[in-house]
Amino acid sequence: MQTVRTDPIDGQKPGTSGLRKKTAVFKRPRYLENYVQSTFDGIDGVQNKTLVVGGDGRFFNDAAIQIILRMAAANGAAKCIVGQGGILSTPAVSHLIRLRKADGGLILSASHNPGGPDADFGLKYNGANGGPATETVTDKIFARTTEIETYRIAAGDDIDLERIGDTQIGSMQVEIVDPVADYAELMGSLFDFAKIRALFASGFTMRFDAMHAVTGPYAHAILEDTLGAAKGTVMNGVPSPTFGGGHPDPNPIWAKSLMDIMYGADAPDFGAASDGDGDRNMIVGRGAYVTPSDSLAVLTAKAHLAPAYKDGLAGVARSMPTSRAVDRVAESLGIGCFETPTGWKFFGNLLDAGKVTLCGEESAGTGSDHVREKDGLWAVLLWLNILAETKLSVADLMADLWSTHGRCYYSRHDYEEVESEKANAMVDGLRAKLPSLAGSTIGKLRVETADEFAYDDPVDGSRSSNQGIRIVFKGGARVVFRLSGTGTQGATIRIYLEQLVTDADRLHMEPESALEMVRAAALQLSELTAKTGWVDPDVVT
């Protein structure tokens, strides 16, 4: 065991999803070590604790795991449970922490950000409930990064991450486990696998794009081997350190090859994709893309068709920028609907307290109380269970949602790598206008309410302020402005546009035209072009 002298390298503030930096930053001398020791210190040490460790297989995953294990040993941990080959999807880590009653876990991932020597890396700590660390904990971790003087690491050779079974580092036990088995068993307990198997056996076709990321082995095992989907259903199913040079974010832009298949001749019945670490999902039917906000609404309306949710839902939650489609479904079901700040950790308290069963975000995250992370494959399987029960197509299910509850047209516009000062100036400008906006007319829209979202957690009473600017217009339009908390360079401005339409003859418009008025109002209000020099967004989802 060695105690190594070190100095704080720079202020390393973990965001809503742990710490994300360029891989080269994580590889700087002592950087990863400093952050790991700060994490251990921030959780009051790991003495005698059991931790789950795994990542999405991106470049530096395995080398970082070897360092983390030697540091956990030197810090007195009793045991680390590690996915074979260093692989574990984020929801699988969450499940393993809960299943094995571990004290917490470390997830190595930068989620949907590209991986590789010139791309991104990340590290996140999840607590004993299986969910992302609370803000109190991440604040403590951050505080330690600014004052750290030493870290502890055990000497010794790398261990073999491929060999399933037990080994030791000093007096710490390391158990290498199959990354898929426990997760697959959990899925089998939630859904009617026999029904889904029968659906595939009847000729139902599907494509699942694992995007060269972590869900490949899970999707092969569950969709093809267990549920009988045809071989070849899973595309890009072998995890690669650089995600095949791609951007493992399941949306119509980055999963374009899947979109082309789903909108092409001979499209299969159902398409889905998941991201780098397996917590996000994209759902697309034959010629029918489903926005994540609409997906949450459909799942809420139909979850009772799956065994795990047959008694109904306690309530649902969505992040503030997520469209209000699910609110309308929740209202008709007579269940509570919570609006939380962006980031999965805010759902944790609601799930733990049994106030909600399902939750979701516009950024392609959906989940339930089965783990404390969003879960890409879980969402895909719940969709499959609903399709198997209803025998409807995805397009039919959407049409049914819209005719019953109205359609929330929705789009997110991202402006990436904007100079931070300019982005902040735009937000400050908007903030200054807020008090005088109600009742005024912007373009063709009349403002109903305008505020900056703050969240009072109904479980622990904590308050989170400055969680995005929201402007609600008369007639069902809404715009939300916020700055990303997960970018690794400059600032990313996100503008979320929404327009509710209930007229039966306007339920099948092009989203762009339905959103035209609210988009114009958003640009006018924010003075985006004048303040930042930007005109068109980099990514529209």
Site string for Zn ion, 277-316 (x = CB under 5 A): x-xx------------------------------------
Q: What is the DSSP letter of 309?
A: G
- Residue 86's alpha-carbon distances to 58, 89, 124, 236, 315, in angstroms, are 10, 10, 15, 19, 36
Residue with token string 């069963």: 357
Closest CB to ligand G1P among residues 127, 268: 127
Q: Which residue from 151, 183, 204, 344 is in contact with ligand G1P, where contact means CB under 6 A?
A: 344
| Residue closest to ligand G1P when measured from CB atoms | 484
Residue 111 annotated in active site: yes
User: Residue 342 interacts with ligand G1P (CB under 6 A)?
Assistant: yes
Could you give the CA distance from residue 456 to residue 470 in angstroms, rounded to a whole number? 16
Give the range of 37-45, 259-267, 360-368, 496-504 binding ligand G1P by CB under 6 A: 360-368
Site string for Zn ion, 74-113 (x = CB under 5 A): -------------------------------------x--
342 binds, among ligand G1P, Zn ion, none (CB under 5 to 8 A by kind): ligand G1P
Closest CB to ligand G1P among residues 85, 105: 105
Instruction: Say whether 128 sits in a helix, a strand or coil.
Output: coil
User: Residue 327 interacts with Zn ion (CB under 5 A)?
Assistant: no
Active site residue: 17, 89, 94, 111, which one? 111
The distance of closest approach from Cβ of residue 320 to ligand G1P in the complex, given in angstroms and rounded to an integer, is 10
- Report whether 106 contacts 68 (CB < 8 A): yes
Q: Which residue from 12, 17, 23, 39 is in contact with ligand G1P, where contact means CB under 6 A?
A: 17
Residues in contact with ligand G1P, counted by CB under 6 A, come to a total of 14
Give the pairing type, strands 463-464 and 469-473.
unpaired
Q: What angle do helix axes 31-42 and 135-145 make, rounded to 10 degrees? A: 130
Give the pairing type, strands 477-483 and 469-473.
antiparallel
- Pull the structure tokens for residue 349: 């308290």
| Residue closest to Zn ion when measured from CB atoms | 111
Could you give the CA distance from residue 453 to residue 462 in angstroms, rounded to a whole number? 14
Closest CB to ligand G1P among residues 289, 344: 344
Q: What is the DSSP letter of 15?
A: B
Q: Which residues lie across from 51 on neighbouring strands? A: 80, 104
Could you give the CA distance from residue 466 to residue 483 in angstroms, rounded to a whole number? 10
User: Residue 343 interacts with ligand G1P (CB under 6 A)?
Assistant: yes
The distance of closest approach from Cβ of residue 345 to ligand G1P in the complex, given in angstroms and rounded to an integer, is 9
Give the range of 25-33, 93-101, 337-345, 511-519 binding ligand G1P by CB under 6 A: 337-345
277 binds, among ligand G1P, Zn ion, none (CB under 5 to 8 A by kind): Zn ion
Measured over the CA atoms of residue 94, residue 99, residue 104 and residue 108, the dihedral's sign is: negative
Q: Which residues lie across from 473 on neighbouring strands? A: 447
User: Residue 363 interacts with ligand G1P (CB under 6 A)?
Assistant: yes
Closest CB to Zn ion among residues 214, 337: 214
The distance of closest approach from Cβ of residue 177 to ligand G1P in the complex, given in angstroms and rounded to an integer, is 25
Q: Which residue from 62, 120, 224, 275 is in contact with Zn ion, where contact means CB under 5 A?
A: 275
Q: Measuring CA to CA, which residue among 478, 517, 482, 524 is closest to residue 498?
A: 478
Closest CB to ligand G1P among residues 237, 468: 468
Q: Which residue from 233, 484, 488, 526 is in contact with ligand G1P, where contact means CB under 6 A?
A: 484
Could you give the CA distance from residue 327 to residue 410 in angstroms, rounded to a whole number? 14
Site string for ligand G1P, 108-137 (x = CB under 6 A): ---x--------------------------
537 binds, among Zn ion, ligand G1P, none (CB under 5 to 8 A by kind): none
Give the range of 100-108, 282-290, 329-337, 357-365 binding ligand G1P by CB under 6 A: 357-365
The distance of closest approach from Cβ of residue 491 to ligand G1P in the complex, given in angstroms and rounded to an integer, is 10
- Pull the structure tokens for residue 527: 């003075």
User: Residue 361 interacts with Zn ion (CB under 5 A)?
Assistant: no
Could you give the CA distance from residue 333 to residue 310 in angstroms, rounded to a whole number? 14
Q: Which residues lie across from 481 on neighbouring strands? A: 469, 495
The distance of closest approach from Cβ of residue 76 to ligand G1P in the complex, given in angstroms and rounded to an integer, is 32
Closest CB to ligand G1P among residues 288, 379: 379
User: Residue 361 interacts with ligand G1P (CB under 6 A)?
Assistant: yes
**115-126 burial code (b ≥16 CB/10 A, e <16):** bbeebbbbbbbb
The distance of closest approach from Cβ of residue 375 to ligand G1P in the complex, given in angstroms and rounded to an integer, is 12
- Residue 253 burial (10 A CB sphere; 0-12, 13-18, 19+): middle
Closest CB to ligand G1P among residues 396, 416: 416
363 binds, among ligand G1P, Zn ion, none (CB under 5 to 8 A by kind): ligand G1P
- Pull the structure tokens for residue 296: 């949450």
- Report whether 278 contacts 92 (CB < 8 A): yes
Give the pairing type, strands 50-55 and 358-361.
unpaired
User: Residue 248 interacts with ligand G1P (CB under 6 A)?
Assistant: no
Q: Which residues lie across from 150 on neighbouring strands? A: 5
- Residue 225's alpha-carbon distances to 217, 221, 449, 481, in angstroms, are 11, 5, 52, 44
Instruction: Say whether 300 sits in a helix, a strand or coil.
Output: helix
User: Which residues here bind Zn ion, judged by CB under 5 A?
Assistant: 111, 275, 277, 279-280
| Residues with a known catalytic role | 111
Contacts with ligand G1P, residue ranges (CB under 6 A): 16-17, 111, 319, 342-344, 361, 363, 365, 484-486, 494
